[in-house]
Amino acid sequence: MKNVNKNEGQRGGFGTKIGFILAAAGSAVGLGNIWRFPYLAAKYGGGIFLLVYLIFAVTFGFALMLTEIAIGRKTGKSVIGAFKSVDKRFAPAGWLGAAIPALILPYYCVIGGWVLKYMTVFLTGKGSEIANKVYDAGADGGGLSFFEHFISLTGEPSLFFIIYVLIGAVVIFLGVEKGIEKISKFLMPVLLLLIIGIGIYTLTLDGAGEGLKYYVLPDFEGFTVSKLLKTIAAAMGQLFYSMSLAMGIMVTYGSYMRKNDSIEGSVRQIEIFDTIVAFLSGLIIVPAVFVFSGGDESALNAGPGLMFITLPKVFDSMPGGQIIGSIFFIIVALAALTSSISLMETVTAVVMEKFRISRAKSCIAVIIFTLVLGMVSVLGYSEWSDFTLFGMQFLDFFDFVANNLMMPIMAFLTCILVGYVVKTKFVEEEVMYGGKQFRSKLIYRVMIKYVCPVCMIVILITPFVTKI
């Protein structure tokens, strides 16, 4: 079928509908699904969190993603140009939208480097060696896990970080259709198959049933109103992050989308893909950790350390753990890679458009920027670990500013722009382009005008009011 996107030719674009869906799903499916979702679900009452999350996904997540893709496709520009052309006064929102991926990309690649390291450790058969190893912490005593020891170094984390950035850069150099679309079409189905495979395997382990119950059945015992509110805020924040919303990514990808493909249908499929991977990751991790810890729920609250510290121990104690661990870290590496590619593409598209330079030149500029800022995050855990910003290391600080401050503001501005300035008709027209139906129009309007802006304010103030 012929591509009718008006930018086709100069900017490149997705050649097929499934290519677009898988690339956007590739952006959405990442560390957020595999590492963050399971421990949040476990922490916030299992089934209750799942339910709240699902409700948000089909309402608020749906509305925001649809809006971003429609703005991108209608304007055919990257995030800065897109917001400016919708309404001049909203140009600063476009800049904010471009600053977010630029801030996230470097540290996301640092974490990607950690994942690469774990993948090589498992693939070279050293998984059990690192699982229980304790390193000397030096003068002040106490032992360090392999993970804590590894990130306190400078050389190796930098090396894996650089390799990771370069892998992503190759895909960006190749462009949208030959790079991003091709790799997503191949990687996403592989990822899904692998995750279903190990999901089935972990469920056959002794005692997994208990863990499964804990994961899917709502636990209302001791569930207070305040806990419910925290659960809601956590589910909203997670949805946001998981679907790569409010950072210009979906605007950029939307700008490469073909005019005659359905936006509504694509958004549904991207959401389903993202939610299935998150759910399956929980299905692997929660019962496995449950079995490993002998039913001790506190093991699941391990938070950030869950994937890098607890899981290797789980794999070590599991029959065939070395192989399962290798497959698991391959999955994580692939998922993280397609997410960082979307960040890199968003930043590259902005640089290309703003400075009117070629893809290759802007890609080089973005690589240099990423390497420099990423090194700050690497050093923040090693040489400069004494230095903190508001009590946070650099990486955590970047993460906090982007996710808890900039993203809700960006989403709030997007809702105001579409809900009240240009009105929802702006988006509806694009969704219905070519005579397509917009089945969820009513719910869409309610979401963008009323529910989403309020949710954004809740997300914005929650971390300051309560520590979740």
Residues that bind ligand PHE (CB under 6 A): 27-28, 30-33, 104, 241-242, 244, 247, 339, 342-343
Closer to ligand PHE by Cβ: residue 33 or 75: 33
Q: Classify burial at 193, counting beta carbons within 10 Å of its beta carbon; exposed 0-12, middle 13-18, buried 19 or more.
A: exposed
In contact, 28 and 270? CB cutoff 8 Å = yes
Task: Return the structure tokens found at 338.
Answer: 């397609």
CB of 144 to ligand PHE, least distance (A): 27
CA distance 134 to 315: 17
Closer to ligand PHE by Cβ: residue 49 or 292: 49
Judged by phi (left if over 0) then psi (alpha if -120 to 50, else beta), residue 393 lies in beta
Which is nearest to 334 in space by CA: 149, 187, 120? 187
Closer to ligand PHE by Cβ: residue 130 or 307: 307
- Sign of the CA dihedral 93, 94, 95, 98? positive
Closer to ligand PHE by Cβ: residue 242 or 275: 242
Closer to ligand PHE by Cβ: residue 346 or 362: 346
The CA-atom distances, in angstroms, between 250 and each of 88, 125, 405, 434, 446 are 20, 39, 19, 21, 21
Q: Which residues lie closer than 8 Å to 253 by C-beta, 6 or more apart?
A: 14, 20, 23, 24, 27, 69, 72, 342, 345
What are residue 143's DSSP bridge partners? 136
Place of tokens 């190796």: 156
CB of 342 to ligand PHE, least distance (A): 5
CB of 194 to ligand PHE, least distance (A): 17
In contact, 150 and 114? CB cutoff 8 Å = yes
In contact, 56 and 236? CB cutoff 8 Å = yes
Backbone phi and psi for residue 212, each to the nearest 5 degrees, phi listed first: -65, -45
User: Which three-class secondary structure state does DSSP give residue 4?
Assistant: coil
Closer to ligand PHE by Cβ: residue 49 or 241: 241
Closer to ligand PHE by Cβ: residue 344 or 375: 344
Which H or E run contains 313? helix 311-317
Closer to ligand PHE by Cβ: residue 71 or 249: 249
CB of 464 to ligand PHE, least distance (A): 22
CB of 36 to ligand PHE, least distance (A): 7
Closer to ligand PHE by Cβ: residue 35 or 160: 35
What are residue 464's DSSP bridge partners? none
User: Which three-class secondary structure state does DSSP give residue 120?
Assistant: helix
CB of 30 to ligand PHE, least distance (A): 2
Q: Which amino acid is at 207?
A: G
Backbone phi and psi for residue 83, each to the nearest 5 degrees, phi listed first: -65, -35
Closer to ligand PHE by Cβ: residue 195 or 318: 195
Neighbours of 88 (CB within 10 A): 8
Task: Return the structure tokens found at 162.
Answer: 């650089």
CB of 402 to ligand PHE, least distance (A): 8
CB of 136 to ligand PHE, least distance (A): 34
CB of 241 to ligand PHE, least distance (A): 6
CB of 322 to ligand PHE, least distance (A): 26
**What does the DSSP assignment read for 195-250?**
HHHHHHHHHTSTTHHHHHHHHHSB--TT--HHHHHHHHHHHHHHHHHHTT-SSSHH
Neighbours of 24 (CB within 10 A): 32
Closer to ligand PHE by Cβ: residue 65 or 162: 65
Closer to ligand PHE by Cβ: residue 263 or 337: 337
CB of 270 to ligand PHE, least distance (A): 11
CB of 199 to ligand PHE, least distance (A): 18
